[in-house]
């Protein structure tokens, strides 16, 4: 399956709406040289089942990579998997047991809309 097919399949599988806004997150992962890496980056949309983030400037994150995401404002860690990679974004998916609650998504959206007003 090529990247275009994987992206189309991922879009069809989304069960939750995505909200467009910007926020900070920490990513913890092993880079291409198997060194533990902590990166601060931004996500630009989020749903109960995942998020799109700006990829950190390090190699090693490809489709299937597993990492830990600590989104603002909670910093509660979530295990995520890279399901699609483009030049400017990583699409991260949360397993059923890790999905955000509706309250968490609403709080993330609310905190960012308060900042932009």
Between the CA of residue 8 and those of 45, 83, 89, what are the distances in Å?
18, 11, 16
pLDDT at residue number 24: 82
pLDDT values of the chain reduced to their tens digit, one per residue, 117 residues? 444 554 444 455 444 555 555 678 888 988 778 888 888 888 877 788 888 888 888 777 889 999 998 887 766 888 999 999 887 888 999 988 888 888 888 777 665 555 444
- Strand pairing category for 78-86 and 66-71: antiparallel
Residue numbers of the domain that contains 96 = 3-116
Q: For the domain that residue 45 is a member of, what is the CATH number? A: 2.40.10.220
Q: Which of 26, 20, 58, 61 is nearest to 41 (CA)?
A: 26
Q: Which of 38, 109, 101, 45 is nearest to 73 (CA)?
A: 109
Total domain count, the chain: 1
């Amino acid at each position: 399956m090529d990247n275009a097919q994987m992206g189309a399949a991922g879009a069809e599988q989304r069960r939750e709406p995505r909200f467009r806004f910007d926020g900070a997150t920490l990513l913890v992962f092993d880079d291409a040289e198997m060194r533990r890496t902590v990166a601060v980056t931004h996500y630009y949309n989020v749903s109960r089942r995942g998020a799109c983030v700006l990829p950190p400037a390090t190699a090693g994150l490809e489709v299937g990579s597993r990492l830990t995401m600590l989104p603002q404002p909670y910093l509660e860690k979530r295990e995520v998997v890279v399901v699609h990679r483009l030049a400017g974004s990583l699409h991260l998916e949360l397993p059923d047991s890790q999905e955000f609650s509706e309250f968490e998504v609403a709080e993330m959206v609310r905190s960012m809309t308060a900042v932009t007003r």
